[in-house]
Amino acid sequence: MKNKRQTIRLTKLYKKWYTLLVASLFLVSLVSFLSSTPLLKDIEMKMLDYRFQLDPTPERADTNIVIIAIDDSSLDFFSENGISWPWPRSFYGYVVDYLTEAQARSVIFDMQFYENDIEREETTAQETDNIFADAIKNNGKVYLGVQLLKDANDIQPEVNEFSIDDQQIDLPPFQGIRAPIEPFLLNNRSIGVINTAPDNDGLIRRVGLSFKLNEHYFAQMAYRVWLDQYEDSGNIEIPVDNNGDYLLNWYGQSTFKTYPFRALISSASAYMNNKEPILPLDKFNNKHVIFGATAAGLYDLKSNSYSKVMPGMEIWATALSNYINHDFITTIPVWFNFILTLLIIFSIMFLISNFLPQKANIIILLLLILMLFTNFILWKLYRIQLNFTMQIIGFIISYLLINTLSYLLEGKSRREIRKIFTRYLHNDVIKLLEDDPNKVLLGGKEINATVLYTDIYNFTTLSETKTPSELVQDLNEYFKILIDFIFQYEGLLDKYTGDGIMALFGVPIERGDHALLACRAAFAHKKLREELERKQNLTATEKLHLQTRIGINSGLLVAGNIGGEKRMDYTAIGDTVNLAARLESVNKLYQTNIIISQDTYEQIKEKFICRELDSLMVKGKTKPTCIFEIIDERTDEKDTSKYEWIELYKQALEFYREGRWQEAGELFEELSEDPYNDEASQVMLTRCMYLLEFPPKKWDGVLKLDVK
């Protein structure tokens, strides 16, 4: 029993909100630590990819950014005209001049020109480089790419002229650089770093804003253009992580307008020869034009959340569009994710431990749907990135942990409940208790319930002709049928009282219809008895049912585990129990089979046809109680005219209580004869005759019982 109490205490303790909160804090700390591991960081990045794929936003990409692709078709075009890769630098000069005429806002080369052009039969390297350099100078808005190196090399001093202010971020320094040759470096607007570092899975998701070369800082390509071209750049803070990396807000696959290089140079050539260009000047007016390679053989293909094959200049186009339109991803800080995950974990643990499994799981499913919906809506509308991996890991761990804990603790508690009640309750009711052990207080509780007592009239005489084994067999068969009625109406078999039983309704699960259930169980047995009365050649067990008397009372009682350390049973005690037992024995006095108290009658009078038998005061009581007999069940189809005799009995009872015994006796006599043959009326007639002969000195109409 001590172990039982400890189990119950533990079962109650782990359900307390403060216990769950402490456990939730521990779990969220564990989840937070796990979320910082490389594996879960990679998973969260995959979750980010799914967000992009579920909600592409090509319409948000800046239309003032266009891409000029050095694609396979352009390589084929020049190859067919006898010009192989690499092309003469003069070609770039021609297209830059054309863009100058178009008044492009900027010209960005995601390419490196760190070596002189090659010598050709028709031109020299110096000639082609100079044409390109002059075009760069004439345009004034050309940005050239540089690549920073971990290894040291000779650094041109002019490079430092393009450095930016210290970004106040501790960046690992690079030792070398691949910069454009001097003619280009001295004439371009600025240089931009084109270094990219993919994540572990090879996808580009972030780019650094600035990079450190020795003691100087240089801007990433798109960042450099934005700093130079937009006046509000100094007032806008671009979000970066602790490493100084910017999380790209991708718009979709191939979202920017792209033209092949061959179309642009053909347009430039046509314009120089006063012909109609394929790509008119207005297509590039006030545009940011980004040059880059898409041809497979030029090895400038990257991977992102949308595609395994992406042109490298898509990175700078996306980044520049993000900066221009302030189209940033809002990454929720760690502390907010911590609190949000804590709420999720606490909610799950509280629901599982304090609600019925079916109800808890439905709410938890709705919580999961809410999590998914909230994450998606915040992403779709505001590009807010909650740490979904942290949430879902917290969800899974807390769900598994609390269910395991519930199984270990409540499972033991449920086994104790089943062990206690399996002999007393219908299996369906036991399952309800197992699902919600909080419905029963094993330690005892005052509760409003109904008590039903049964007994077999004249059992001693019936048993005299039986051997002990025959008697036990008959009783077992008798009790099986009787108890089935109790269980059918969700009663609790409290105890056997020799040849009778004590049953409780409304315990251990409190319910408001306990009196109705008890009366229905008694009425079910009454119908069985009526069937047996019409039967011939009854068995010994069937004869016992004919002799069964039932007493029912409703009211407050104390129900719980009562007993000592070595033996304890679930039972009920109190005056309500005692009166039910007395009412059962009163049946003998009135020659009836079912007597209920007034407290029970008031709760079932709309469902059953009853008659008031008498008013009596049992031994040990100071107040009288009215007693009633259940006659029949009320239904819409039932003909109640055959019960008009009840009104006659009621009138006789009024005469009796008024002391008009002669008039009462006449009515009782009528009821005791054909066609009524009411045995209770015969009892009352005999009493009236006695009172007429021996009238009491003081009459209150109450029968006082001096024996139990």
Amino acid identity of 701?
G
Q: How far apart are the first and last CA of the chain?
A: 35
pLDDT at 666 over 60: yes
Q: pLDDT grade, residue 415 (50/70/90)?
A: low
pLDDT at 708 over 70: no
Q: What is the pLDDT of residue 1?
A: 44
Q: 35 vs 43, 231, 335, 407, 418, CA distance in Å?
A: 9, 39, 13, 28, 43
What average pLDDT does the segment 427-450 reach?
65
Q: What is the pLDDT of residue 262?
A: 97
pLDDT at 566 over 60: no
Residues of the chain with pLDDT > 70, as a percent, come to 91
Compute the distance between CA of residue 469 and CA of residue 446 in angstroms, rounded to an integer. 40
Q: What is the pLDDT of residue 438?
A: 54
Q: What is the pLDDT of residue 430?
A: 56
Q: What is the pLDDT of residue 16?
A: 87
Instruction: Read off the DSSP letter of residue 220.
Output: B
Q: What is the pLDDT of residue 4?
A: 47
What average pLDDT does the segment 403-413 reach?
74
Region of 458 (left: φ > 0; alpha: ψ -120 to 50; beta: rest) is left
Domain ranges of the chain: 2-52+331-417, 63-324, 439-637, 644-708
Residue 68: strand pairing partners? 259, 291
Cα-flanking dihedrals φ and ψ of residue 297, to 5°?
Answer: -75, -10
Name the nearest CA neighbour of 313 among 106, 63, 67.
Answer: 67
Compute the distance between CA of residue 571 and CA of residue 507 in angstroms, rounded to an integer. 9
Q: What is the pLDDT of residue 296?
A: 82
Residues of the chain with pLDDT > 90, as a percent, come to 74
Question: 570-586 pLDDT, tens per residue?
Answer: 788 999 999 999 999 99
The mean pLDDT value of the chain amounts to 90
Q: What is the pLDDT of residue 223?
A: 97
Q: For Cα atoms 97, 103, 106, give the angle at the middle one, nearest 5 degrees.
A: 85
Token pair in block for residue 30: 């564990």
pLDDT at 300 over 90: no
Amino acid identity of 62?
D
> Taking the CA of residue 86 as centre, how many other CA atoms within 13 Å lie in the half-sphere pointing to its CB?
17
Compute the distance between CA of residue 264 and CA of residue 291 in angstroms, rounded to an integer. 11
Q: What is the pLDDT of residue 29?
A: 96
Q: What is the pLDDT of residue 2?
A: 46
Q: For Cα atoms 465, 466, 467, give the angle at the middle one, nearest 5 degrees.
A: 135
- Sign, CA dihedral 282-288-292-295, equals negative
Token pair in block for residue 148: 């920073």
User: Quick one: 387 exposed, middle or buried, by C-beta within 10 A (0-12, 13-18, 19+)?
Assistant: buried
Cα-flanking dihedrals φ and ψ of residue 186, to 5°?
Answer: -75, -15
Question: 200-243 pLDDT, tens per residue?
Answer: 999 999 999 999 998 899 999 999 999 999 988 888 999 999 89
Question: 43-55 pLDDT, tens per residue?
Answer: 999 999 999 999 9
**Mapping DSSP to helix (H, G, I), strand (E, B) and coil, where does residue 161 land?**
helix
pLDDT at 588 over 50: yes
Question: 12-33 pLDDT, tens per residue?
Answer: 667 888 999 999 999 999 999 9
Compute the distance between CA of residue 218 and CA of residue 148 in angstroms, rounded to an integer. 10
Helices (H), 501-592: 514-533, 540-546, 575-590
Q: What is the pLDDT of residue 642?
A: 84
Q: pLDDT grade, residue 559 (50/70/90)?
A: confident
Pairing of strands 703-704, 608-617: parallel
pLDDT at 419 over 70: no
Compute the distance between CA of residue 45 and CA of residue 51 in angstroms, rounded to an integer. 10
Distance of CA 569 to the CA centre of its chain: 39
Q: Is the pLDDT higher at 638 or at 71?
A: 71
Q: For the domain bounded by 439-637, which CATH number is listed?
A: 3.30.70.1230
Q: What is the pLDDT of residue 7?
A: 47
What average pLDDT does the segment 618-639 reach?
86
pLDDT at 163 over 50: yes
Q: pLDDT grade, residue 245 (50/70/90)?
A: very high
Question: 324-373 pLDDT, tens per residue?
Answer: 999 999 999 999 999 999 999 999 999 998 888 889 999 999 999 999 99
Compute the distance between CA of residue 659 and CA of residue 178 in angstroms, rounded to an integer. 125
What average pLDDT does the segment 528-533 reach?
94
Q: pLDDT grade, residue 122 (50/70/90)?
A: confident
- pTM exceeds 0.85: no
Place of tokens 């086994």: 415
Q: What is the pLDDT of residue 157?
A: 87
Least confident piece of the model among 72-76, 402-406, 424-428, 614-618:
424-428
Q: What is the pLDDT of residue 442?
A: 52
- Sign, CA dihedral 51-56-61-65, equals positive
Residue 595: strand pairing partners? 551, 629
What average pLDDT does the segment 394-414 reach?
82
Q: What is the pLDDT of residue 251?
A: 97
Helices (H), 240-312: 261-272
Q: What is the pLDDT of residue 437?
A: 57
Compute the distance between CA of residue 10 and CA of residue 633 in angstroms, rounded to an integer. 47
Q: Is the pLDDT higher at 643 or at 67?
A: 67
Question: 130-155 pLDDT, tens per residue?
Answer: 999 999 999 999 999 999 999 999 88
Q: What is the pLDDT of residue 498?
A: 87
Q: 137 vs 134, 142, 185, 189, 265, CA distance in Å?
A: 5, 8, 10, 8, 19
E-assigned strand segments in 204-358: 206-208, 210-213, 216-219, 245-247, 257-260, 288-293, 301-302, 310-311, 330-331
Q: What is the pLDDT of residue 621?
A: 77
Q: What is the pLDDT of residue 409?
A: 72
